[in-house]
């Protein structure tokens, strides 16, 4: 990165803030400018009022959308279910900008982030890239070692964001399979919920291992329809993220599953884990395309049909016997 850059991060949640901290630390002694864009002045004031030691970038918080016009690239950290709504306000500022999306989810109707960006903001697929990997935002924000992958059909764009984000604590690989990275990053949230259910029911380590292994079979099954590469399935956005979010109480999706196991109802309002919404989109897509995805279906039924957790778990044990590779 030899020339001066201006990078705008849209979204002030945990992941947007983590990106801002990461980049601010890396470029604090350079002429590059990193802006964190709040959705409005009220949100701006709330963030600025927090402990400044936790927010070293507070002096570059802005709420003016016009900052996007002069940005060289834009990082989106907006939950997928709110992305379309936000883009209608941003569209006139970002259409011609390189975009890095960091959220992991699938919109109702089985739309990926790149679909939403194209439909709502006229951003072509060639200017889209996706970041995904086994990363908890708070650990990234605290500069603990982590690895991720940025994927784009444009190799130069992938390299640009790879070099932009890579630091002493954050190692970024690149891929030319953005749809595969989007799909695996979204699907793992559903199986993290299933894993949380298993642990919440006290079904043991064997059960969790079986769920994660068969989850890979389901991801591979649906991935064939989108030509997902094997390297993606077994890479950072696939196996890596699946294992992280399915085995840690830090994972919001895991905690959703654990709560479901205790017969707690999930509030389908704002702030709910991405896997809750993705479960519905994936279930409907699987039904429409006659895809065999019993674990994903069970998660959907637990959330949206109020099925009894233990009975749902045991029903998976009584499916017809079959070959492992089918």
Residues 6+ apart with CB under 8 A from 56: 21, 24, 25
Strand spans (E) along 152-197: 170-175
What is the arithmetic mean of pLDDT over 287-306? 96
Q: What is the pLDDT of residues 15-69, one digit of tens each?
A: 998 999 999 899 888 888 888 887 666 666 666 666 454 555 544 666 678 888 8
Cross-sheet strand order for the sheet of 170-175 = 61-62, 33-37, 6-10, 73-76, 99-101, 128-132, 146-151, 170-175
- Is residue 60 within 8 A of residue 35, CB to CB? The reply is yes
3 state DSSP class of 85: helix
CA–CA dist 11, 302 (Å, integer): 30
pLDDT at site 58: 44
| Catalytic hit among 21, 104, 188, 297 | 188
Domains and CATH numbers, the chain: 6-176 (3.40.50.720), 180-316 (1.10.1040.10)
CA–CA dist 213, 93 (Å, integer): 43
pTM: 0.93
Q: What is the pLDDT of residues 61-111, one digit of tens each?
A: 666 788 888 899 999 999 999 999 999 989 988 988 999 999 999 998 999
Neighbouring-strand partners of residue 111: 107
What are the tokens at 16? 């947007």
CA–CA dist 316, 308 (Å, integer): 13
Confidence band for 275, pLDDT divided at 50, 70 and 90: very high
Is 89 tagged catalytic? no
Residues 6+ apart with CB under 8 A from 93: 65, 66, 68, 69
pLDDT at site 14: 87
User: Quick check: 146 pLDDT over 50?
Assistant: yes
- Is residue 298 within 8 A of residue 312, CB to CB? The reply is yes
Q: Is 264 exposed, middle or buried (0-12, 13-18, 19+ CB in 10 A)?
A: exposed
pLDDT at site 115: 97
- Is residue 208 within 8 A of residue 246, CB to CB? The reply is yes
pLDDT at site 55: 52
Task: Give, as one character, the DSSP assignment of residue 78.
Answer: -
């Amino acid at each position: 990165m030899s020339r001066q850059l201006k990078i705008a991060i849209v979204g002030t949640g945990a992941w947007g803030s983590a990106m801002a901290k990461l980049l601010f630390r890396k470029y604090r002694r350079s002429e590059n400018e990193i802006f964190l864009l709040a959705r409005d002045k009220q949100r701006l004031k709330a963030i600025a009022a927090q402990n400044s030691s936790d927010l070293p970038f507070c002096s570059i918080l802005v709420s003016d959308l016009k900052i996007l016009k002069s940005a060289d690239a834009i990082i989106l950290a907006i939950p997928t279910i709110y992305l379309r709504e936000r883009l209608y306000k941003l569209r006139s500022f970002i259409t011609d900008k390189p975009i890095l999306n960091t959220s992991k989810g699938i919109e109702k109707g089985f739309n990926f982030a790149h679909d939403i960006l194209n439909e709502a903001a006229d951003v072509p697929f060639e200017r889209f890239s996706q970041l995904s990997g086994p990363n908890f935002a708070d650990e990234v924000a605290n500069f603990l070692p982590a690895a991720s992958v940025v994927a784009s059909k444009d190799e130069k764009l992938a390299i640009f964001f790879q070099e932009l984000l890579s630091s002493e604590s954050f190692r970024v690989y690149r891929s030319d399979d953005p749809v595969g990275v989007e799909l695996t990053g979204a699907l793992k949230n559903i199986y993290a919920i299933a894993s949380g259910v298993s642990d919440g029911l006290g079904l043991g380590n064997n059960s969790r291992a079986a769920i994660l292994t068969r989850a890979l079979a389901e991801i591979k099954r649906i991935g064939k329809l989108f030509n997902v590469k094997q390297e993606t399935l077994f890479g950072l956005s696939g196996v890596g993220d699946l294992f992280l979010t399915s085995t840690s109480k830090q994972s919001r999706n895991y905690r959703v599953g654990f709560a479901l196991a205790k017969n707690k109802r999930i509030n389908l309002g704002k702030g709910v884990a991405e896997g809750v919404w993705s479960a519905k989109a994936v279930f409907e897509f699987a039904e429409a395309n006659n895809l065999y995805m019993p674990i994903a279906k069970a998660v959907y039924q637990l959330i949206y049909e109020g099925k009894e957790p233990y009975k749902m778990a045991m029903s998976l044990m009584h499916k017809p016997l079959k070959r492992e590779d089918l």
